[in-house]
Amino acid sequence: MPSFDEIKATLDSEIQALESRTQAAKELQAHFNEDGWDESVAVINNYAVSLEEWHDRLSRVHAQVVQREAEEQQVAAVSPFEKYATDLEDAVRRIAANQEEVAKHMAATQEEIARRLGGAHEEIARNLATVQEETTRLISAQESLGKQTTQSFLELAAHIQNTASSFKSDTHPGPIPEQTPVQFDTPQPEEPPENPGFWSKS
């Protein structure tokens, strides 16, 4: 790659040449400004204008080359520590930009997760409401069944008690009255006859 001095020297040479050609074109143009020439020679006027435009363009390029040379000389004059600091600042800026991008991505992801969880929470809430409703219904049914069972046991106990009372009344209608014992006549022993001799013979 040619050096800045070589580039500037080439541009300077071309610019100077264009200046000379522009001056010559203007002199040539003056010869055709007299009357008697038609529009077929109007190219002479455009030739001078074109040379002036190219002169201006090359002059701007020359200025850009000078600016680029100055910037590189300034960078070369910077100490290693300053260059390290500059590189570090650039790295920090890149990291900050990356962090900002990551933060945006995380925010979008969190928003999507929150949206999905919101739908899941609604579904869970509906399921819990259904479970609670079924639980309440079962508890109510158990309470009703318990009351019916208790009432049935009470009625059965009352029926058993009434049956027992009726059975007792039929079996023991009342106290048995005392009966007078029957008096039987006790036979009296016969007295022996006065003559014992008759009895002894027999």
Q: Give pTM, 2 decimals.
A: 0.35
Token readout for 21 is: 């050609």
Q: Which residues of 126-138 are buried (b: 16+ CB within 10 A; e: fewer)?
A: eeeeeeeeeeeee
pLDDT of residue 67: 92
* Positions in the chain short of pLDDT 70: 1, 34-36, 38-39, 76-84, 167-202
Residue among 46, 39, 4, 9 nearest 25 (CA): 46
**Per-residue pLDDT tens digits for 11-56:** 999 999 999 999 998 888 888 776 667 667 778 878 888 999 999 9
The residue type found at 148 is Q
pLDDT of residue 99: 87
pLDDT of residue 78: 59
Judge contact between 18 and 62, C-beta under 8 A.
no
CA distances (Å), origin 40, targets 27, 43, 46, 48: 18, 7, 12, 16
pLDDT of residue 190: 58
Q: What is the three-state SS of 104-137?
A: HHHHHHHHHHHHHHHHHHHHHHHHHHHHHHHHHH
pLDDT of residue 53: 92
Torsion, Cα 191 194 200 202, to 10 degrees, reads -70
Give the distance, in angstroms, between the CA of residue 143 and the centroid of all CA atoms in the same chain. 42
> Could you state, in order of their start, the residue ranges of all structural domains in the chain?
4-77, 79-151
pLDDT of residue 202: 46
